[in-house]
């Protein structure tokens, strides 16, 4: 009985949140007008508590390429671009800025994480002066399913499924699936789960 009431409350909360943010999403043509999309994303990032979670989830379900209904994004976090795919059961902590990214199901991202749209976003002219993003190279960074990205990490390259990126790590090269990577620049220090043959070999 308690479970059914909880599910009913969640359903009503999602419905109310969708109704509240629908006009904002519509104003941005569901994310296609970049400046208006960013205005909505930044404004909703400042909404506190559980209501803020529901409002952000609904907004991103309207505007991003995909955003799982069971995923959550906490206070102070937002997506500057709409070219984003977020799977189901994803948790994003507070004060994260996430660029063009694909995040697999059930991945967890701690607070203060930055996921950049690649490593070369600002180009220089022939005199070496920075000319802004129009000369840069933007790409989608892919974070696999069931990953853990530690607090304050900066991710500029793909992270394979089932991997752990330590707190404060700076990922500049792809991390293979099932790895633990730490440091600046991040390097793989071990596997998340040892291979079965290695486990068997460790016993007499």
- Domains, the chain, ranges and CATH? 1-63 (no CATH), 68-192 (2.160.10.10)
Provide the 3-class DSSP secondary structure of residue 188.
strand
101 backbone φψ class: left, alpha, beta (φ>0; ψ -120 to 50): beta
Name which residue leads in pLDDT, 12 or 197.
12
Model pLDDT, residue 197: 36
Residue 173 tokens, joined:
């090269």
Q: Specify the DSSP class assigned to residue 187.
A: E
> What average pLDDT does the segment 67-81 reach?
95
Q: Specify the DSSP class assigned to residue 137.
A: B
> What average pLDDT does the segment 66-90 reach?
96
Residue by residue, DSSP assigns 102-130 as EE-TT-EE-TT-EE-S-SB-SEE-TTS-E
> What average pLDDT does the segment 147-168 reach?
97
């Amino acid at each position: 009985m308690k479970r059914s009431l909880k599910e009913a409350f969640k359903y009503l909360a999602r419905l109310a949140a969708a109704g509240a943010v629908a006009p904002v999403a519509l104003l941005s043509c569901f994310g296609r007008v970049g400046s208006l999309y960013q205005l909505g994303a930044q404004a909703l990032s400042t909404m506190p508590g559980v209501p803020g979670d529901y409002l952000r989830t609904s907004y991103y379900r309207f505007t991003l390429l995909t955003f799982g209904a069971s995923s959550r994004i906490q206070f102070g976090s937002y997506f500057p671009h709409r070219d984003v795919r977020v799977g189901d059961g994803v948790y994003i902590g507070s004060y994260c800025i996430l660029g063009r990214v694909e995040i697999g199901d059930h991945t967890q991202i701690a607070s203060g994480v930055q996921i950049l749209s690649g490593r070369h976003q600002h180009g220089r002219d022939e005199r070496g002066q920075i000319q802004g993003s129009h000369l840069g190279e933007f790409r989608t960074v892919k974070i696999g399913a069931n990953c853990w990205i530690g607090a304050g990490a900066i991710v500029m390259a793909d992270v394979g499924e089932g991997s752990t990126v330590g707190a404060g790590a700076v990922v500049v090269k792809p991390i293979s699936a099932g790895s633990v990577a730490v440091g600046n620049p991040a390097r793989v220090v071990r596997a998340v789960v040892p291979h079965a043959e290695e486990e068997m070999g460790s016993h007499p």
